């Protein structure tokens, strides 16, 4: 089974609107971390936001926020007030405690976001 599922291969949003990128995950580990990365066409993976499984509040970082619903095992990224520069591929990733020394980040397949002027 896929550990990280991103069901939206592509999304479009109008400039200045908010957009939600979906991410569901699968783990039996009570301790895990969820990450979102942005990959523009240049290729560099840019860290956006982190949510720990024990965090009581949803993470926020500027225009990025994470809608964390633990019971549903979802960690959707919300981008407010979209800008043209937000057009990129977005990846959700997870690290489980049982990764141990493997330190493995498991990535989803990504969502290509296009912001329209």
Partner 1 sequence: SQTIHQWPATLVQPVGSPLSLECTVEGTSNPNLYWYRQAAGRGLQLLFYSVGIGQISSEVPQNLSASRPQDRQFILSSKKLLLSDSGFYLCAWSVGHGGVGETQYFGPGTRLLVL
Q: Which residues of the chain form contacts with partner 1 (CB under 8 A)? A: 4, 31-33, 35, 37, 42-47, 50, 52-53, 91, 93, 95-97, 99-105, 107-110
CB of 113 to partner 1, least distance (A): 15
Which residue, 18 or 106, has its beta carbon nearer to partner 1? 106
Between the alpha carbon of residue 22 and those of residues 63, 66, 101, 115, the distances in Å are: 16, 10, 29, 17
CB of 19 to partner 1, least distance (A): 20
CB of 31 to partner 1, least distance (A): 6
Which residue, 100 or 117, has its beta carbon nearer to partner 1? 100
Which residue, 11 or 15, has its beta carbon nearer to partner 1? 11
User: Whose structure tokens read 């141990």?
Assistant: 100
CB of 52 to partner 1, least distance (A): 5
In this structure, the number of other CB atoms found within 10 A of the CB of residue 17 comes to: 13
Q: Is 70 exposed, middle or buried (0-12, 13-18, 19+ CB in 10 A)?
A: exposed
Which residue, 19 or 59, has its beta carbon nearer to partner 1? 59
């Amino acid at each position: 089974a896929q550990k990280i599922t991103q069901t939206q291969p592509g999304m479009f949003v109008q400039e200045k609107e908010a957009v939600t990128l979906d991410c569901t995950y699968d783990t039996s580990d009570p301790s895990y971390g969820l990450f979102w990365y942005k990959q523009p066409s240049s290729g560099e993976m840019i860290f956006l936001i982190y949510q720990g499984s024990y965090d009581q509040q949803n993470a926020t970082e500027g225009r990025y926020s994470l809608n964390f619903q633990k019971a549903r095992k979802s960690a959707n990224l919300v981008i407010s007030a979209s800008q043209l520069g937000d057009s990129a591929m977005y990846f959700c990733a997870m690290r489980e405690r049982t990764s141990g020394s493997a330190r493995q980040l498991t990535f989803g397949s990504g969502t290509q976001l296009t912001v329209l002027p």
